[in-house]
Every structure is written in C-alpha cells, then in structure tokens.
Amino acid sequence: MKLLIVTVVDYYKKDIIRLFKQAQINNFSESDIEGFKADASVKMSSSWFVSEQSGADSEMFFSFTEDEKIDVLFNLIKEFNNNLETNNPIKAVVVPIERSI
C-alpha cells in the first residue's frame, strides 16, 4: 500500500474524481488548498499592488491504495494532461508507507 497525493486546480475537480473512479480508487479524501507560483509573472510585476499575491483555488486528493490502481490512474492522468490546452496539469506523487496502524 502507498500514499497517493494528487493536486488539481478547481476547474479539474470533477475530472480527477472521474479518473479516480476509472482507476477503481473509490476511497479517497479531498481538501481545498490555495496554490502559488514563486516566480513573478509579468502580470504580477505590473500590478499596482505588487506586494499582494493571489493564489489559485486548488484541490488536494489523497488515498492509501495499491500499486496496480496507482499505475492505472497515472496512465489516465498522463493521457488527460496530454490533451490540456492550459498550463495547469494534474500533478500526482506516490509516497511509500513504511508503517501503518
């Protein structure tokens, strides 16, 4: 069993839930988060209020699940990201679990 962590912008929330179901990952948790990029964009540097930063409304999903289901989900995410027209891909990582209760 491993810990799967996925982050998406709010716009893709329904899409990632669909991908989780396609990968048969039926048990997962979700949390609202705010994502930031460290580099100053042209838009931000030209703002009247440069010291103010606004983040992107995002979601973080996590699940303790099996390798086989994670492999299926990663393939689905790769396919999804390849068809994006934006610069906000779904991101996913896997963390091994050394101990659990």
Average pLDDT over residues 42-60: 63
Q: What is the mean pLDDT of residues 16-45?
A: 83
Sequence ranges of the domains in the chain? 2-35+57-96
Q: Is residue 2 within 8 Å of 70, Cβ to Cβ? A: yes
pTM above 0.75, yes or no: yes
Q: Does domain 2-35+57-96 have CATH number 2.160.10.10?
A: no
Task: Give the span between the Cα atoms of 6 and 76, in whole angstroms.
Answer: 13
pLDDT reading at 39 higher than 70: no
Mean pLDDT to the nearest integer, 5-23: 96
Whether 12 contacts 91, CB under 8 Å: no
Scan for tokens 């609202």, then name that residue: 32
The candidate with the shortest Cα–Cα distance to 51, out of 61, 60, 42, 40, is 40
pLDDT of 99 reads 86
Evaluate if residue 9 carries a pLDDT over 60.
Answer: yes
Single-letter residue type at 66:
E
Contacts of 96 (CB under 8 A, 6+ apart): 2, 3
